Structure 1
């Protein structure tokens, strides 16, 4: 029987009208804010991975600093609880501004100031501080709508928070990066963050805002909107200017693919030089210079072509330059190229300068290109190849280090035909000797006999390779009798390439495996500073 009394909830607090809708609005705000917060974290990790290359290190720094700062933020929020709604709105506006501009600011710190490390730590701490203050304030706001047992309120908040984090984690790689890119993606999330926070406060909790608070929030909203809007409009010009700051020569092509940043630069033709210098960079690492790439690719390909060579497998080398050298042998029947990034292959096939350099090799009817992960493809490959050319990016990132392990070379051995040869680009025995000899140890541990050799490539310095055959008998390091006329490599040069002076002598280092990627640590340590 109704008594006509107002509804009473736990603790005797009078419920607000439409409290269920108000409570749902708070939980939706928690959901959206959690998604935005996780995107900010992922954006910092991804940017660091692109710019620095150390995915594990960048993730550890960002997550460690942000989680610590979130704890500090939760404590800082205690004095703000009496004015929870206004404080929450200010925090969301600040978070939207700083989070939305975080990628832009860090890229600027990297390109112009050389202060990326300190800037990353500072940004992660401030964002974590603001994110950490959200939940305590939202808890107070939720209880003001309808007081309930603390355990139930915490369960509701964290359920919405975790589900929102799932959305943010999925949206970042599959929606924001492909559609907007890193810089604009962060701006979009900042705008969503601001709208979600203000919408909650200005609807459900508008009566708790004083006139002064409303004016401050209105002015703050205009400032945030103008800043994010201006950054959106100028994002393309900023990215071009900042990117050019990182390269010596003018950038003639740039693209952020799903896997990496691809940049082509071309120098202005200088007096005394017949051609300008075309250079390809992946995630900032030089892949080749058109001035001397023939030295690298002749040394990589031709020693491995001595013997049966009807079927050739190329791992990496989506630029088509190694394939160009392989196709100089008319008895090659088929070349299979396995390169992860279709954007690199498309670039090599369509950009006139690069196509002229590789001779249109990827369009040859004997060439088949597979855009997939080399490790995964080898696990299921049923074909056999006379020659395998492993021309893969250096093992200075987690994603590429697995391509220099015992397990990877064992997979290659499983697809080698009888009398087949493997050649591996192995880095510099001078600048990175432990990396080089660890790769040699990994190849030998997989059941190969190896012949190390190295040549001078001016753009890279002293650069090393490994020629290998399955078994215990090392291959003969010679050019094929029918080798085409080469610009750099001849029998005398190749013979000298097998000699290592005392300061580049073999090192006794252990092999690298999937569970112990030693080559990753070696590469990061040895290339630091170059």
Structure 2
């Protein structure tokens, strides 16, 4: 070893820590992207995690064949994992954007690619631990229980850090595409540094140069993809949403995309890839949602969701409305509703009306502390019940809390989707 055994063990365990963090980020990246592109978070998470855990077992078995060439085998695994994991989000988005809407066989393209990436990443992650176990034993022989305990302690702590880094650092500050590419880069640098630095004497001259050149090539691919990610996202969004995309922001709660809405073009509002306001039909949706509920006392109105201001616009069109409370989770969506020229024009600049009172909060949590019998009408302008994160807003607890805040004879209106195209969602709400 070029360093003392204690230092060598520390470096191997540090590499275990980094690899575990990167591996969990890859898993979470696939789950997040699949939920966003395909929907139904529970199903996508179950598919990704079950396929990946199965593949990890197969990868661990396959790693036994690499024991004679542990160092070069680990270097090759990390290089391939960095390439596959780092590019997985971009590849999924590309397939969804340019083939996902074609129908027929191509309609299953994103789902098939999701399974393929889960399988490939799982195989490579599974091969890491046996190879790292062999490498740490080459530094200093230990009894098996102690070595396993050290290795898995570093592995689990790394997984914790990766699991927390994804939602709180990578996603908000780098986005899904650049975050995955950055994770692949970190993975490659950590694995390459360990093999080419600490275990370089285990490699032949040819193996050292091969790993170095391939690693630099993969690093170049990841860096190029990161440099082009903004252009790629714009092109993919145009393929998904059309050529009129003006605004695309990740708010921390959801992705908000605005298309059209200026120069006489109809406005389209997409939340997490799902159309919420559709061009010429936008008024029809909110008129149908709001006005039937206002055929009675409606001096005090509560809107749950509806941060775009479009439901509030319809409420304020009715005489006799004295106060409208809006409870919206996404502050950045409200900011767009105030400032974006297309969306502000569509909602009639409702946030300038003194009758509007805004609260940024989760609807269910806010209802738990709201005063009873406070509202004549409650309008639940909430995300589709087919989205797993929204199911609590269609639960018995939600309806019970809503009933508590309604005045005697008050009315609740709920978005339930189409009875013809999505009958299961509709009748679940009913």
Q: Fold match, TM over 0.5?
A: yes
**What is the CA-CA distance between 1:268 and the residue it aligns to?**
9.7
1:34 to 20, 28, 31: 20
Distance 2:69 2:428 in 1: 60
- Write out the 4+ residue segments of structure 1 that deviate beyond 3 Å after TM superposition: none
Residues 386 and 417, structure 1, Cα contact 8 Å, conserved in 2: yes
Aligned to 2:364: 375
**What is the CA-CA distance between 1:42 and the residue it aligns to?**
0.3
Question: Within 5 A, what are the aligned runs for 1:402-481?
Answer: 402-440=392-430
Aligned to 2:30: 44
Aligned to 2:281: 292
**What is the CA-CA distance between 1:17 and the residue it aligns to?**
5.8
2:166 to 172, 175, 183: 172
Cα deviation digits, residues 124-149 of structure 1 (max 9, x gap) = 11111111111101111111100010
Is residue 257 from structure 1 mapped to residue 239 from structure 2 by the alignment?
no
**What is the CA-CA distance between 1:81 and the residue it aligns to?**
1.0
Greater helix share, structure number:
2
RMSD over aligned CA atoms reads 1.7
**What is the CA-CA distance between 1:43 and the residue it aligns to?**
0.2
Cα deviation digits, residues 470-507 of structure 1 (max 9, x gap) = xxxxxxxxxxxxxxxxxxxxxxxxxxxxxxxxxxxxxx
Q: Which consecutive residues of structure 1, in runs of 5 or more, have no partner in the other structure? A: 1-14, 270-274, 441-530
Q: Which consecutive residues of structure 2, in runs of 5 or more, have no partner in the other structure? A: 101-108
Question: Within 5 A, what are the aligned runs for 1:303-342?
Answer: 303-342=292-331
Distance 1:267 1:320 in 2: 15
Change (3 A) 1:254 1:152: same
SS in 1 for 2:380: strand
Distance 1:375 1:145 in 2: 55
Structure of greater relative contact order (alpha carbons < 8 Å, 6+ residues apart): 2
Is residue 63 from structure 1 mapped to residue 52 from structure 2 by the alignment?
no
**What is the CA-CA distance between 1:382 and the residue it aligns to?**
2.1
TM-score by length of structure 1 reads 0.77
Residues 249 and 267, structure 1, Cα contact 8 Å, conserved in 2: no
Aligned to 1:353: 342
Residues 100 and 186, structure 1, Cα contact 8 Å, conserved in 2: yes
Aligned to 1:386: 376
Distance 2:37 2:228 in 1: 21
Change (3 A) 1:17 1:194: closer
Residues 16 and 146, structure 1, Cα contact 8 Å, conserved in 2: no
Residues 16 and 145, structure 1, Cα contact 8 Å, conserved in 2: no
1:209 to 195, 203, 207: 203
Residues 74 and 136, structure 1, Cα contact 8 Å, conserved in 2: yes
Distance 2:424 2:150 in 1: 53
Cα deviation digits, residues 436-467 of structure 1 (max 9, x gap) = 23322xxxxxxxxxxxxxxxxxxxxxxxxxxx
| Number of equivalenced pairs | 421
1:163 to 132, 153, 157: 157
Distance 1:92 1:387 in 2: 58
Residues 341 and 371, structure 1, Cα contact 8 Å, conserved in 2: yes
Distance 1:106 1:371 in 2: 33
Cα deviation digits, residues 58-110 of structure 1 (max 9, x gap) = 11111111111111111111121122111111111111111111101111111
Larger radius of gyration: 1
Change (3 A) 1:50 1:73: same
Aligned to 1:477: none
Change (3 A) 1:333 1:92: same
Change (3 A) 1:161 1:318: same
